[in-house]
């Protein structure tokens, strides 16, 4: 039977396997699979492969972060099965039901890690203020009391995808697994942001920013060693910069993802892989001077679980991780002299979960296949999951053709073009990614597949500002959006128009977040596009500088501040300032719950275009959706959004 084009409703059938973890003996792998559980929610189940594949958990809960006990006898995992309380559970491999490890109050549980002896688990936990717990809400309903006001005294009091948490903060906690007794170990970070790992003597290495105002001084990260006796010592003499993704190398050394801030305290800097002797404090920086590698880079996708920090994994002193470069992600083994060995090679994303001497467990996704889990032993695949095989066998996924486009002399931009199966010349859509410090990949992107299935050529690229091409390529637009990046977008547009299968008189542009900024900038500076879609956009840098979860720190990514002599720069680079001659029909998409780019950004675009009589439409998603609505929002609303795109292009393109 011939394959069919992809439709928006197919999103409900997509499974997203992730986070594969090898057992201590390397013979089994456990991982999580996210699926649509209902029209408006997801569920995540755990699976185990040990020669045979079986499902470990099921239901409407989200069971994630499976982590093997060091002796391999059990798996710990986090779960929301006891909402509103977060849960940490233990599933014995000998059989039986999972039991709760620790009884936590209402709040949020984040990362956790087993101690080397398997007796304790360290975890991040943020308790919810007593006035905002479910019990308090129910009590107020009975008494008729009003919801109390939110009172905050910190710069960071909300985060997109995490919600509004006021002055509540994550703390580093430790639980004794057998007894369930737990305690707070470290709580000094004013922003509640920590990275940690166990070291061999039973202590915990913890990185955080001890500044009274870490948002204004993000370069102040330090590393402390917290002992089991409650003592804490600061490791002296470390270089100034951001330090994260702490990973124990099992011999007293720690691998650290480090961004040097000694000379440049704000803006994009690559994440270098450094090493710390936790006992002596000796620091080594074998990647010093290299600006082409960044362990913190990840590729953007609407079909895989996002990553926000370096993925590092150690087994018997050997360090593994992955690097995203030029549109693909590959697994590597890293060595302390700064050298590395690439371990995967296929185009797309081969994201590391875990590894040992001869085995890799990866989440893999290609230009024509949805994500799966793969176990590779001595270079041979011994297991590959098939959670999406039925859908992949049914749907014709198109591969993007890679191109390198010269924007200016000496500047090449990587791009991909999806060509639909159609006769003659067809209209084209230019997609611009968010960030700007992020990277499109060559892997399957559902939105692009849906648009190509509808008969449109779809092109996406990584213009200047993107990561994965070196520090200079990403940094060169700092405080200068709408210049070099806009030249690159124009170059990609002209290239696409020159293709013999593209109708050069019918071209659209679309993008989200910073990509929405570029769409807004494009329609204010060009009439080259027949129509546009601006999604969760940036429109006014002046207003955004004070209403985003990521605060515009003075003299950070932008010079000065809105209140100190730089408002002219922010206003001049605000797309809405340049709307005097806009005539491009524009669909505006935004979420009420967007804490990254406040909904007023999209509303300004809609209002000003409406005032001018430009054909425009506002699609405003409800407050339970966030900046990441297109990737992780309710399934029915994600599908609705795709249909809005198709309807807009059917009308104006």
Please write the tens of the pLDDT for every residue from 114-149: 999 999 999 999 999 999 999 999 999 999 999 999
Residue that is written with structure tokens 């409900």 in the block: 12
What pLDDT is stored for residue 130 in this prediction? Answer: 92
d(CA 614, CA 520): 13
Tokens of 213: 């105002």
Digit-coded pLDDT (tens) for 374-392: 999 999 999 999 999 999 9
Using only the alpha carbons of the chain, give its radius of gyration.
25
d(CA 279, CA 434): 41
CB 158 within 8 A of CB 165: yes
Cβ neighbours of residue 229 closer than 8 Å, sequence gap 6 or more: none
d(CA 553, CA 636): 37
According to DSSP, the β-strands at 586-591 and 502-512 are: unpaired
According to DSSP, the β-strands at 531-535 and 586-591 are: parallel
Digit-coded pLDDT (tens) for 475-487: 999 999 999 999 9
CB 220 within 8 A of CB 189: no
> Omega into 436 within 30° of 0, i.e. cis?
yes
What pLDDT is stored for residue 308 in this prediction? Answer: 63
Tokens of 407: 């924007």
Chain-centre distance for alpha carbon 38: 24
CB 392 within 8 A of CB 370: yes
CB 240 within 8 A of CB 219: yes
Domain boundaries 399-652, CATH class: alpha beta
Chain-centre distance for alpha carbon 224: 27
Phi, psi of 448, rounded to the nearest 5 degrees: -70, -35
Query: What is the rounded average pLDDT for all residues in the chain?
Result: 95
Cα distances (angstroms) measured from residue 256 to each of 35, 289, 467? 33, 16, 20
CB 462 within 8 A of CB 434: no
What pLDDT is stored for residue 362 in this prediction? Answer: 97
User: 0.85 cut: is pTM over it?
Assistant: yes
User: Which of 557, 556, 566 is closest to 217 using CA atoms?
Assistant: 556
Residue 269 CB burial class (10 angstroms; 0-12, 13-18, ≥19) = buried
Quote the DSSP letter at residue 13: G
Cβ neighbours of residue 45 closer than 8 Å, sequence gap 6 or more: 32, 33, 35, 55, 56, 57, 58, 59, 63
Helical segments of 308-377, H only:
none
d(CA 37, CA 150): 33
| Helix/strand number for the chain, H first, E second | 11, 38
Helix (H, G, I), strand (E, B) or coil at 301: coil
Q: Residues 47-86, buried b or exposed e (16+ Cβ, 10 A)? A: bbbeeeeeebbeeebbbbbbbbbeeeebbbbbbbbeeebb
Q: What are the DSSP E strand ranges found in 378-467?
A: 380-384, 401-408, 411-418, 426-432, 457-461
Tokens of 43: 């569920």
CB 534 within 8 A of CB 587: yes
Tokens of 540: 């006014």
Q: How many CB atoms lie within 10 A of CB 153?
A: 7
- Vertex 473 angle, CA 472 and 478, to 5°: 75
What pLDDT is stored for residue 31 in this prediction? Answer: 98
Q: How many CB atoms lie within 10 A of CB 542?
A: 18
Helical segments of 468-513, H only:
471-475, 484-498
HSE-CB at 110 with a 13 A cutoff on CA atoms is: 15
Cα distances (angstroms) measured from residue 5 to each of 35, 170, 313, 447? 21, 45, 39, 12
d(CA 598, CA 353): 34
CB 428 within 8 A of CB 497: yes
State which residues of the chain have pLDDT below 50. Answer: none
């Amino acid at each position: 039977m011939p394959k069919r084009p992809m439709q928006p409703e197919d999103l409900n059938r997509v499974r997203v396997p992730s986070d594969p973890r090898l057992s201590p003996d390397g013979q089994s792998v456990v991982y999580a699979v996210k699926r649509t559980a209902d029209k408006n929610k997801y569920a995540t189940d755990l699976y185990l492969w040990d020669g045979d594949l079986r499902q470990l958990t099921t239901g409407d809960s989200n069971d994630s972060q499976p982590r093997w006990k060091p002796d391999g006898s059990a798996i710990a995992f986090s779960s929301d099965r006891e909402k509103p309380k977060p849960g940490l559970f233990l599933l014995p491999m000998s059989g039986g039901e999972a039991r709760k490890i620790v009884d936590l109050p209402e709040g949020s549980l984040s990362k956790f890690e087993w101690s080397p002896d398997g007796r304790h688990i360290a975890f991040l936990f943020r308790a919810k203020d007593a006035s905002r717990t479910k019990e308090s809400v129910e009590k107020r309903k009975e008494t008729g009391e009003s919801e109390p006001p939110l009172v905050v005294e910190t710069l960071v009091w909300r985060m997109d995808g995490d919600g509004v948490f006021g002055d509540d903060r994550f703390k580093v906690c430790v639980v004794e697994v057998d007894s369930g007794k737990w305690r707070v170990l470290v709580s000094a970070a004013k922003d509640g942001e920590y990275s940690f790992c166990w070291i061999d003597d039973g202590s915990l290495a913890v990185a955080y920013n001890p500044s009274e105002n870490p948002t204004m001084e993000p370069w102040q990260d330090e590393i402390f060693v917290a002992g089991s006796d409650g003592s804490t010592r600061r490791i002296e003499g470390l270089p100034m910069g951001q330090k994260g993704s702490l990973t124990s190398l099992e011999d007293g050394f720690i691998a650290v993802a480090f961004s040097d801030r000694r000379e440049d305290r704000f803006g994009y800097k690559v994440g270098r892989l450094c090493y710390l002797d936790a006992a002596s404090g000796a620091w080594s920086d074998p990647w010093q001077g290299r600006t082409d590698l960044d362990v913190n880079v990840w590729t953007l996708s609407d079909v895989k679980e996002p990553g926000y920090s370096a993925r590092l994994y150690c087994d018997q002193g050997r360090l593994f991780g992955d690097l995203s470069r030029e549109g693909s992600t590959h697994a590597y083994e890293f060595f302390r002299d700064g050298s590395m060995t690439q371990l995967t090679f296929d185009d797309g994303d081969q994201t590391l979960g875990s590894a040992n001497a001869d085995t890799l467990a990866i989440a893999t996704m290609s230009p024509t296949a949805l994500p799966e889990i793969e176990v590779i032993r001595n270079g041979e695949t011994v297991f590959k999951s098939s959670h999406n095989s039925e859908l992949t066998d049914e749907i014709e996924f198109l591969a993007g053709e890679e191109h390198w486009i010269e924007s200016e002399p000496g500047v090449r931009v990587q791009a991909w073009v999806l060509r639909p199966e159609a006769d003659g010349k067809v209209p084209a859509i230019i997609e611009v990614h968010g960030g700007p410090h992020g990277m499109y990949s060559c892997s399957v992107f559902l939105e692009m597949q849906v648009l190509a299935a509808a008969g449109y050529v779809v092109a996406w690229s990584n213009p200047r500002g993107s990561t994965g091409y070196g520090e200079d390529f990403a940094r060169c637009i700092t405080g200068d959006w709408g210049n070099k990046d806009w030249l690159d977008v124009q170059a990609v547009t002209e290239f696409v128009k020159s293709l013999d299968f593209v109708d050069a008189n019918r071209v659209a542009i679309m993008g989200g977040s910073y990509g929405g900024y570029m769409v807004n900038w494009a329609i204010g500076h060009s009439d080259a596009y027949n129509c546009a879609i601006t999604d969760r956009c940036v429109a006014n840098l002046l207003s955004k500088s004070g209403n985003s979860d990521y605060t515009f720190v003075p003299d950070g990514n932008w010079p000065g501040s809105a209140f100190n002599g730089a408002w002219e720069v922010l206003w001049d680079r605000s797309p809405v300032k340049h709307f005097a001659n806009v005539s491009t029909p524009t669909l505006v998409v935004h979420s009420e719950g967007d804490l990254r780019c406040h909904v007023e950004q999209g509303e300004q675009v809609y209002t000003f275009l409406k005032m001018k009589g430009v054909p425009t439409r506002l699609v405003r998603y409800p407050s339970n959706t966030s900046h990441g609505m297109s990737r992780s929002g309710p399934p029915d609303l994600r599908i609705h959004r795709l249909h809005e795109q198709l309807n807009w292009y059917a009308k104006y393109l």
